Amino acid sequence: MLIGVSAAGSAVAQEPTDLNTITVLAPRITYQTTRDRESAIPKKLEIAQKSAMVDYGDLDLTRTADLYTLKGRVEAAATRICGELTELFPDGTPSTTVCTRRATDDAMAQVERTARNASR
């Protein structure tokens, strides 16, 4: 079962849908198990995800200070949506810390591509 939850803000990176936004996307995986003769057999796998859009329209991505500002926005969005997923699915994986790091890293790849294009 796939559960999609989106929020305004950022999680695992996707291509931006707007020219001045970065998409942050965070997934969370949960298993429901049942016992059959002393073994745990995965019964159902659920993948939930949240996404957030981070706006950078007010920033000049050719400036290092503005790139740091955008990184901070991405990290804040990843922290928020990973925390929300942890609250919704406390037994899921990855951990909130790992989720936040991965979502931030993936979104920063978008930031780097966008910054390279801005400096051309």
**Torsion angle defined by CA atoms of residues 9, 30, 12 and 55, in that order, rounded to the nearest 10 degrees:** 0
CA dihedral (115, 106, 69, 5) positive or negative: positive
Domain that holds residue 69: 2-118
Which token pair is 111? 């930031």
**Which tens digits make up the pLDDT trace of 16-41?**
445 799 999 999 998 766 656 666 66
Q: Taking all residues of the chain, what is their mean pLDDT, rounded to a whole number?
A: 83
Q: What is the pLDDT of residue 35?
A: 59
79 φ, ψ (degrees, to nearest 5): -60, -45
**Which tens digits make up the pLDDT trace of 78-90?**
999 999 999 998 9
Q: How many distinct structural domains can be found in the chain?
A: 1
Tell me how far apart the alpha carbons of residues 13 and 15 are, in angstroms, rounded to a whole number: 7
- The alpha helices in the chain, defined as continuous H runs, are 64-88, 96-118
- Of all residues in the chain, what percent carry a pLDDT higher than 70? 75
Q: Name which residue leads in pLDDT, 4 or 103.
A: 103
